[in-house]
Structure 1
Amino acid sequence: MTSAPAIAATPALLRRVNAGKLLGILSSAGVMTGTGLIQATGLTRATVHAVCNDLIEMGWVVELEAGRDDSSVGRPSRRFEFNSRAGYVLGIDIGAGRTTVLLADLRGETVAKAGRSLSAVKTPAERTALVHEAVVEALAAAGIADSQVLAAGAGVAAPVDRAGNILVDDEFWRRFDTGLGSQLTELHGWPVLLENDANLAVLGEHWRGEGQGVDDLAVLLAGERFGSGLMDSGRLLHGSRGGAGEMLYLKLVEGVGTTHGIARIVRDQAAQLLADPATRTSLRALVGDQPAGAAPLPPTTAITAEQVFAAASDGDEVALGILRSVATRTARVVATLAILVNPELVVLGGAVAEAARQLLPEIEQQLADYTSTPPRVAVSSLGDAIVSVGAVRHALNYVEQHALDLELTRPG
C-alpha cells in the first residue's frame, strides 16, 4: 500500500501557514505587540514582523503608534491590531413573513440593519426583490459599497445540505427553493451562504446568546413552526441532506401531533375558546365583546399570542389554561430533543421567546417525567434577531477560513 506523497513545506507555504496563525490570533484579540505575538505563536521575531508586514499590505492588519514594551528596554515594540473594517459581512434572515438584514464589521458588530415584510409575496421573484431592497438599504445606511462586502450568510426555513442546496420534500420548504442565493450573487457580486434558519440560530446563541460556553446545545425556534438547530461538542449537526434537527417527526409524538409552534398553538386555542359564547375571559375585550345570545365569534378571530400571554400575566384563568396546555406540549417537544441528542441546554428562540418565559417553570417541572436526562431550558436574549445574528457568524466563519484568498477593497 503506497502512501500519499508528502507536501513539501516550501517557504511560501510556511509563510501562508504563519499568516493564518497570526491573523487568527489578532482577529480574536485586541491590540498586540510583536513580543505578545511571539509568545502566543512561538515564532521568531523576524518571522512575526515579516508576516505582519504582509498582513498590513493585504489590509487585514493595521500598525498602531509604537509603544514601549514593559518586558524590555530600548527600542519601542511594534503594536498591531486586526482591521475590523477591512471588509463587511451580511446576515440575512429570510423568513416566511419577513426578511431582516444585518450589516456587520469583521468583529461581528452591527453597523446597519434593514428589513422588509414578505407577507404579501406571491412569487420567488418578489421575494428576491424585497430581500435585495433590504440589502441595498442596509448598505446605503452605512455608506458601504458592494465591493467591500466579503460574504453574506442567509437563513431559510428549510433544510439545507452542506453544499447549500435546499431540501424540497415538504411543500413549505419548496417556497424557499427559488435560486435566491445565486440571484443575489449575480446582483451584488459576493457569495451567499445558504443555511437552515435553526442552524443559524444555534450558531448565534453559541456566539452571542445564552449558549455561550455551552458546546452541547439545542435551539428550538418556537414561533409559527417548531425547528431545531443542534450542536454537539461545539460542532453544528447537519445530517446527510441537511435534515438534522427537522421536526416533522413531531406528527408521530403523542400529545404534540404537528410541527405548529408556540405562537400558533396559543393563537389557535384562544380562537377556539372564544368561538364558544359561554367562555368567560378578558380576551373578549381585545377582539370585540359579544353580548349574550349573539352569534359565536368565528375561529379566525384576530387574537395574538402576545395578547394571550399578557392576559395570563394579569391572572385570566382561560389564558392561564391555554399556557398550561402549551407548556405541557412544549415540554414533550423539548424531551424528544433530550432523548435524541442529550443537549446540556435547550434555548427557546424566535419572536415569541420572551413571552414564552412564562412557560419555563412548567416545562422544567414536567421534563423529569419524560426523560432521565432533562436539559436546562432558557429563553434566547437575541429576540427576533437570533437567525440574522447567526447568519453574521456563518459569514464570518467563511471569511476567517478564506481570508488569505480574499481580495480586500479599500475605499478611496
Structure 2
Amino acid sequence: MAEIAGDLGTGRASVGAVLDFAWDAGVFTATDAMATTSLTRSTTIEAIDTLVSADILRELPNAREAGSYRSGRPARRFALSSELGVVVGVDAGDTHLAVTIADPLEHTLVHHRTDLDPGHSPDERRATILGRIGAALEETGTPRDEILAICVGVAAPVNRAGVSPPHPQGFWERTNPGLAAALERWAPVVEIKNDALLAAVAEGSDPRGGAIGCRDYVALLAGERFGGGVVVDGQLLHGAHGGVGEGVVFDHIIGVGSAFGLSHALHDRVREAVEEGEITRTSVVGRLADADRVDPRAVLALAASGDPDAALVTGRVGATLATIVGVLGSMYDPAKVIVCGAVAESVEPVLAAARGILPTQLHLPAPELLASALGAEVVSLGAVASARRAARERAVPRLAERRLAAR
C-alpha cells in the first residue's frame, strides 16, 4: 500500500492503511477499520469515502437495511469491490498446462488443465500458452484490461526479470519461451517464476498446505524431475538467476545420479530388479516392466497393499529420496521437506522407507518428511496465490492511484 502514500504524499497514507485493512476484513465498519489502523474516526471515514468514490470499496446496506439493526444510529458497512478485475495463474510444465482465472480474493472462475507436447518449439509453446490464457478469459467474459496480475510457473530457473538462463540442451529456453516479454502488455503486473518456488508458496499459504505456520521448509517437486522451492526464516530463496533448489545438483550426488524424479526412479528400479532376477517377469510387478513405461502409481499402490516386490522397489527409491532430503537438510536446515506434485497422492510407501534412513544422511536433526495434500495442482495454487499477492500489493494500489488522480 506504500505506493498510494508515496505517490500522493503522506496525506494519502490513511488511504493506503484502510485499503490494506479491507483486503482481510470482509464486511467492515469505520469502527472496525479504526481499531486496526489506529487512525482517528474522521481520518478513517475520509479514507473510506475516498476509496468508495474511486470504486475500490463499495458501500453495503447499513445494519438496519441488512436486518441486524438493534438500537442507535445504524453503522455504514463496506467491503472491497467485487469488480476490481481478475488474476491469472498458470502452471506451464514440461508436459502440461493449467490456466486459472480467479478473483483477487478467494473465488476461482475458470480452471483448465491439458497436456502439452514436449516436442513443441519455443514459438509453438508460447503461442499455445497465450492462446489458452486468452480462451480462459473469453470463457469468463473478462477483457484483458481487467487483468490485475498474471503469474506463470515454469520448469526452469527464472531471474527477477522473468528470464531463464541458457540451458545446454535448450530446455529452459523452451519451457520459458520469452513469456515475460510476451505477456508484459497483458497486465499491470506479470511474474514468471520457477514452478518449485510456486509449490513452496502454495504449501505455505493454502489452508491445506503442509507448511502453514512453518518458517523453514522445502517444497520438493518430485514427479518427473526434482526441484526445490526453499523457504528459510520465512523468506523464499531465489538467487541471482532463480536457481536456488535447481535439481541438476543431484546429477552429481552418489546414490542419486540424476535430476529425474520419483516416477523415473520407480521405472528404473523395477526394470533393474527384473533384469537382475530379483523380481520374476511373471509376477504382478514384473509384468509392469513389459510396458514402455512402468506406471509409478501401480507400483505405489501395490506397495501400499503389501506386495513384497513393490516393497523392494519402493525401499530402494526411498533410499534415493533419503539421500536427496539429506542434501537439502544439510544445505538449508529445513524443519520440513514436503514432497509435491501428482506423485504425492500415493508416495507414502517411498516416504516411509526414506524416513527410516534419513537420520543417517545428515548431522543436523532430520527434517520432517511428508507428502503434500495439494496434488497435481500445487503449482497452479501457488501461481494464483502469487498473482493475488501482486494484485494486493501492487496492481490495486496503482489502480486506486490512477482513479484518485483522475478525480
Q: TM-score range by the shorter chain?
A: 0.7 to 0.9
Match of 1:3 in 2: none
Structure 1 residue 393 corresponds to structure 2 residue 385: yes
Matched-pair contact (CA < 8 Å) for 1:222–1:348:
yes
Residue 58 of structure 1, CA deviation: 2.4
Matched-pair contact (CA < 8 Å) for 1:146–1:190:
no
SS at match of 2:39: coil
Number of residue-to-residue matches in the alignment: 389
Residue 378 of structure 1, CA deviation: 1.7
Match of 1:179 in 2: 178
Match of 1:282 in 2: 284
Match of 2:47 in 1: 51
Give TM-score, length-normalised by structure 2: 0.88
Paired residue type of 1:79: R
SS at match of 2:342: coil
For 1:89 and 1:169, locate their aligned partners in 2 and report how far apart those are by CA, in whole Å.
30
SS at match of 1:283: helix
309-318 vs 193-202, which moves further: 309-318
332-341 vs 240-249, which moves further: 240-249
Q: Which runs of 5+ in 2 are unaligned?
A: none
Residue 239 of structure 1, CA deviation: 1.4
Matched-pair contact (CA < 8 Å) for 2:288–2:295:
no
Paired residue type of 1:30: G
Match of 2:161 in 1: 163
Matched-pair contact (CA < 8 Å) for 1:15–1:51:
no
12-21 vs 337-346, which moves further: 12-21
Which of 55, 62, 82 does residue 58 from structure 2 map onto?
Answer: 62
Match of 1:312 in 2: 303
Structure 1 residue 31 corresponds to structure 2 residue 27: yes
For 1:180 and 1:163, locate their aligned partners in 2 and report how far apart those are by CA, in whole Å.
11
SS at match of 1:352: helix
Which of 383, 401, 404 does residue 397 from structure 2 map onto?
Answer: 404
Paired residue type of 1:51: A
Residue 130 of structure 1, CA deviation: 1.8
For 2:29 and 2:310, locate their aligned partners in 1 and report how far apart those are by CA, in whole Å.
60
SS at match of 1:23: helix
Cα-to-partner distance string for 1:249-275 (whole Å, 9 max, x where unaligned): 222222111111111111222234445
Give TM-score, length-normalised by structure 1: 0.87
Match of 1:270 in 2: 270
SS at match of 1:147: helix
Residue 303 of structure 1, CA deviation: 2.1
Matched-pair contact (CA < 8 Å) for 2:157–2:243:
yes
Structure 1 residue 116 corresponds to structure 2 residue 106: no
Residue 78 of structure 1, CA deviation: 1.6
Match of 2:190 in 1: 192
Flag the 1:236–1:269 CA change in 2: closer, same or farther, 3 A.
same
For 2:17 and 2:348, locate their aligned partners in 1 and report how far apart those are by CA, in whole Å.
42
232-241 vs 201-210, which moves further: 232-241
Residue 397 of structure 1, CA deviation: 2.0
For 2:276 and 2:332, locate their aligned partners in 1 and report how far apart those are by CA, in whole Å.
41
For 1:362 and 1:274, locate their aligned partners in 2 and report how far apart those are by CA, in whole Å.
20
Match of 1:370 in 2: 361
Cα-to-partner distance string for 1:167-197 (whole Å, 9 max, x where unaligned): 22443323224212322345x4554310111
302-311 vs 229-238, which moves further: 302-311
Paired residue type of 2:373: S
Give the number of the structure whose residues are more often helix, by fraction: 2
Paired residue type of 2:305: D
Cα-to-partner distance string for 1:55-85 (whole Å, 9 max, x where unaligned): 12222211111127x9996322221112244
For 1:250 and 1:13, locate their aligned partners in 2 and report how far apart those are by CA, in whole Å.
51
Match of 1:215 in 2: 215
Which of 323, 336, 354 does residue 345 from structure 2 map onto?
Answer: 354
For 2:127 and 2:240, locate their aligned partners in 1 and report how far apart those are by CA, in whole Å.
32
For 2:35 and 2:118, locate their aligned partners in 1 and report how far apart those are by CA, in whole Å.
57
Matches within 5 A, 1:80-159: 80-119=78-117, 121-159=119-157
Paired residue type of 1:18: S
For 2:7 and 2:188, locate their aligned partners in 1 and report how far apart those are by CA, in whole Å.
31
Matched-pair contact (CA < 8 Å) for 1:202–1:218:
yes
Matched-pair contact (CA < 8 Å) for 1:182–1:192:
no
Matched-pair contact (CA < 8 Å) for 2:205–2:385:
yes
Residue 115 of structure 1, CA deviation: 2.7
For 1:14 and 1:261, locate their aligned partners in 2 and report how far apart those are by CA, in whole Å.
52
Residue 100 of structure 1, CA deviation: 0.4
Match of 1:294 in 2: none
Q: Which runs of 5+ in 1 are unaligned?
A: 1-8, 288-296
Flag the 1:31–1:87 CA change in 2: closer, same or farther, 3 A.
same
Match of 2:241 in 1: 241
380-389 vs 80-89, which moves further: 80-89
332-341 vs 131-140, which moves further: 131-140
Match of 2:77 in 1: 79
Cα-to-partner distance string for 1:80-113 (whole Å, 9 max, x where unaligned): 1122442110110111001101111111431111
Residue 132 of structure 1, CA deviation: 2.2
